[in-house]
Amino acid sequence: MQPSDLLGSFEEREFPTFRNPTIDILTWGRKRHHIPILLEIDVTTARIAIRDQKIKTGQSISFTGWVIKCLAQAVSEHKSIHALRNGKRRFVIFDDVDVTVIVERTVGQLGTNEILPMPYIIRKANEKSVVAISSEIHVARQIPVAAGEVQISSTRAVWMTKIATIMPQFVRNWFFWRPLFRDPFRFKRMMGTVSVTSMGMVGQGGISWGIPIGIHPLIVAIGAIVKRPGIVHEQIVVREYVGLTVLFDHDVTDGAPVARFIRRLQKLMTNAYGLRDI
């Protein structure tokens, strides 16, 4: 048997340049001092409210959109959690909570089978309703991405992103990433201050947590929702829980503020914040 016969059939494709920003973020994200916290939060009340809203009005509320609303509210009450460093001796704390969410975008025309996860920034998420956030995410998913286009922020500077992706990595680092990390205001404009990613139904046989790599001061990964026994009013009942991973940047905040932020986030999500009055 010839050595070539051991390979079998295969297909070779050109490496897409739109993957370069993802590789860059993973490279820079590994340099961050992120501390992961794994949470298990009861979202039964919220899930019931979302289902009831669908039955009553036909309006679909995004679970991810609701989590973003709870997250933005908790961050707005504990602003130091999304601070950005400004040089070695100062950091900037923003009032607005700009949340980057990963949405699946169609590359080329709608109906094609090439799907690419891309970041989209929800500006001032702390001031928007759950319905508004859900609608914004839905609209973002419907916009096709032109072939070769890379969206690394909510702005659509196509020519700039195309040029950036074909540059060698050391050039991208020198002209884009290093200036970005030196300027917290530019970082917020282009990247937001909080990142959210959803793992969907990964691990649907049981609760799951993901530990993503990223460059934001606060990163949240939404895992699968599972049913398991819980205690309510001294009774054992079936409840719905979601696995949530929170990563915070230890360079800008410490354990005590993070603990207060986590308690507030858990309370908001357990009580279906933002869903009772829609």
Walk along the chain (278 residues) and give the pLDDT tens digit of each residue: 455 577 788 888 877 777 788 888 889 999 999 999 999 999 999 999 999 999 888 888 999 999 999 999 999 999 999 999 998 899 999 999 999 998 887 765 555 556 777 889 999 999 999 999 999 999 888 876 665 555 544 444 555 566 667 777 888 888 888 999 999 999 999 999 999 998 865 545 677 888 999 999 999 999 989 999 988 888 999 999 999 999 999 999 988 999 999 999 999 999 999 997 76
DSSP H helical ranges for 128-196: 130-142, 158-166, 169-172, 178-182, 184-191
Range 265-268 contact pairs with CB under 8 angstroms and sequence separation of 24 or more: 265/70, 265/71, 265/74, 266/39, 266/41, 268/70, 268/73, 268/74
- CA of 58: how far to CAs of 47, 67, 127, in Å? 15, 20, 24
CA distance 38 to 32: 18
pLDDT at position 204 is 59
Which DSSP state fits 124?
T
Radius of gyration in angstroms for the set of CA atoms belonging to the chain, rounded to a whole number: 20
Please give the domain boundaries of the chain with CATH numbers for all domains.
23-270 (3.30.559.10)
Q: How far apart are the first and last CA of the chain?
A: 69
CA distance 265 to 256: 14
pLDDT at position 163 is 64
Does residue 157 contact residue 195 with C-beta atoms inside 8 Å? no
pLDDT at position 216 is 96
pLDDT at position 185 is 96
Residue keyed to tokens 């009032």: 95
Sign of CA dihedral 204, 135, 160, 186: negative
